[in-house]
Amino acid sequence: MMEKANQSKVWFITGSSRGFGRIWTEAALQRGDKVAATARNVDSIADFKEKYGDNVLTLPLDVTQPTQVESAVKAAHSHFGSLDIVINNAGYSLVATVEEAKAEDIRALYETNVLGPVAVIQAVLPIMRKQGYGHILGTSSNLGHFVIPLIGYYCSSKWAFEAIHESLATEVKPFGIKVTIIEPNAYATEFGSQESLKFSRNMPEYDKLKESVWETLHQYERGNPNATAAAILAVVDAPEPPLRLFLGRNNLEGISQTYNERIKVWEEWQDVAAAAQG
């Protein structure tokens, strides 16, 4: 089948209760699209149903529960008849140095940030393959390309997230399915709130480092999250959407510098690397 043209699209969005998820859910509904909006606490998105009626289906969803993921995807498809756009948006950050983090905290982070999105992807792909079209978007971060101390495990989850989606893009292209990785820089969302940050144990040996890092982070220019909706709509409407999309003006310069520095080091050590070929 060919992708729907000039019709309202059907979205499935995880983490619709706050931050980017709420903004993008609202943007899709405001233009007349249909949305299966999901959140761990379905009461937190009840206002969408009151405001947009039959155009929205609110569903409880904890992405770390595979059976609940399957049920939510099936319910959304059964209700609307198709799934055109899927946004994996649920996630949080673990604050801890590499030494401080407890194994159970790292596992929980990956359950939400990596395995949860994978569960959603695996649930929607059979539907999209049968349709012959679809667009999967994943909310990553500019930290999918470099790291910041204290949130290295969060950064690592986004590196994994990026690799999975890039591989996915090649694998599903023959089925008419598109993939886009969304990479925001710092935004004034609830992502820095206690609900989106989890802390592991504290070791006083790292107090000076933490003070320095937090001071730096507080100085970051933060974008207006409401300004991102137009970018997301532009991407989902594009005939050939990009594999990656930065959100914010500062990503390109910063990440270019990061990769230039990596290439410089690789080049400096190329003789050693080449000799290791044998």
Q: Which active-site residues does the annotation give?
A: 140, 154, 158
Distance CA(193)–CA(75), nearest Å, equals 31
Q: What is the DSSP string of 148-181?
A: -TT-HHHHHHHHHHHHHHHHHHHHHGGGTEEEEE
Cβ proximity of 141 and 93 under 8 Å? no
Q: What are phi and psi of 63, to 5 degrees?
A: -65, -10
Distance CA(114)–CA(210), nearest Å, equals 26
Largest CA distance in the chain: 68
What is the CB-side half-sphere exposure of residue 187 using CA atoms within 13 A? 23
Distance CA(125)–CA(164), nearest Å, equals 14
Distance CA(138)–CA(177), nearest Å, equals 14
Q: What is the DSSP string of 92-124?
A: -EEE--TTT--HHHHHHHHIIIIIHHHHHHHHH
